[in-house]
Amino acid sequence: DAKTTQPPSMDCAEGRAANLPCNHSTISGNEYVYWYRQIHSQGPQYIIHGLKNNETNEMASLIITEDRKSSTLILPHATLRDTAVYYCIVRVDPGGTSYGKLTFGQGTILTVHP
Amino acid sequence: GAVVSQHPSRVICKSGTSVKIECRSLDFQATTMFWYRQFPKQSLMLMATSNEGSKATYEQGVEKDKFLINHASLTLSTLTVTSAHPEDSSFYICSAGTVGNTIYFGEGSWLTVV
C-alpha cells in the first residue's frame, strides 16, 4: 500500500475551515484515499473517501489533486468537537486476496480552539 | 454509517489468564473483520485480518497462538488473548467491512492485565 505523509499537528479556530493536507505521491491507480479520525480513547470514525474526483458529504469535503499525489480534507466550520487525530490512508480496492486493509500512519492532531 | 460494537469496553484480568473480546456488526454482514492494537500515544497497529469461515491472516510479528481470532459468522468475530501478561495491556479495536465497501470501527476495548 502507498504511504502517506501528514503534518503532525495543526490548529484551527472554532467556526473556521480546517484544511488538512496529505501527501501520497506513490499512490497507484487502484488505490483510494480514505480519511478517518480518532477522538481520544475511541475507535476511529469514518469521514470520507475518494478515488480521483472531489467528494463531499455531511461531515467534510475531500479534494484530490489531478495527479492524485496529494489530497486535502476540509472541515468547513470546525467545532471544538472536531479536535481529534485525523488519519489519511491509502487503501487498495478490496477484492481477490487484498482484503483492502487499512494501514494507519501517525496522522495529524487537529486542535480546534475557541 | 454502519454500526460495529465491541464488548467488553473495559476488562481487567489476572496475569496468566485468557480474555475474550467480541466484535459485532450490528446492521450489516461483515465478510471481513480486522483487529488492531493501540498503545498510548501511538497509532493503530493491524494485528490480523479474518474472513468469515476461514483462518485469520496475521501480520508479521503477531503471535497467532497468543491472539486467537475466530470469525464464525458474518456478524461476529472474537479475539482471545491467551495467557495474558502485563505487556499485553492495550487498547484493542476491531473493524468490519464488506468487499468493496467502507470499513467501520468498533468503540475499542481497554485490556488491563494485572
Per-residue pLDDT of A42-84, as tens digits, reads 999 999 999 998 999 999 999 999 999 999 999 999 999 999 9
Whether A99 sits inside 8 A of B49 (CB atoms) is yes
pLDDT at B49 over 60: yes
Smallest CA–CA separation between A39 and chain B, in Å? 11
Tell me the three state secondary structure of residue B78: strand
How many percent of chain A have pLDDT more than 90? 80
| For chain B, percent of residues with pLDDT exceeding 70 | 97
What lies within 8 Å, CB to CB, of B63 at 6+ separation is none
B-chain residues near A100 (CB < 8 A): 32, 97, 99-100, 103
Tell me the CB-side half-sphere exposure of residue A49, using CA atoms within 13 A: 19
pLDDT score, position A41: 86
How many CB atoms lie under 10 A from the CB of residue B114? 9
Confidence of residue B102 (pLDDT cuts 50, 70, 90): confident
Phi, psi (deg, nearest 5) at residue B112: -120, 120
- Please tell me which residue of chain A has the smallest CA distance to B6: A43
B75–chain A nearest CA distance, Å: 17
Chain B contact set for A107 (CB, 8 A) = 43
What's residue A92's pLDDT? 80
CB proximity under 8 Å: A 4-43 to B: 34, 36, 38, 41-43
pLDDT for residue A81: 96
SS3 B23: strand
Q: Is the pLDDT of residue B56 over 80?
A: yes
| Chain B residue with Cα closest to A106 | B43
Burial of B76 by CB count in 10 Å (0-12 exposed, 13-18 middle, 19+ buried)?
Answer: middle
Per-residue buried b or exposed e for B93-102, using 16+ beta carbons within 10 Å of the residue's own CB = bbbbbbeeeb
CB-count burial class (<10 Å; 0-12, 13-18, 19+) for A114? exposed
Q: Which three cell numbers stand for residue B33?
A: 473483520
Higher pLDDT, B62 or B31: B62
**Is the predicted pLDDT of residue A96 greater than 80, yes or no?**
no
| B51 shares contact with chain A (CB less than 8 Å) | yes
- Between CA A44 and CA B28 the distance in angstroms is 18
Average pLDDT over residues B32-59: 92
Mean pLDDT of B8-15: 97
At residue B38, the pLDDT reads 97
Rounded Cα distance, B59 and B46, in Å: 7
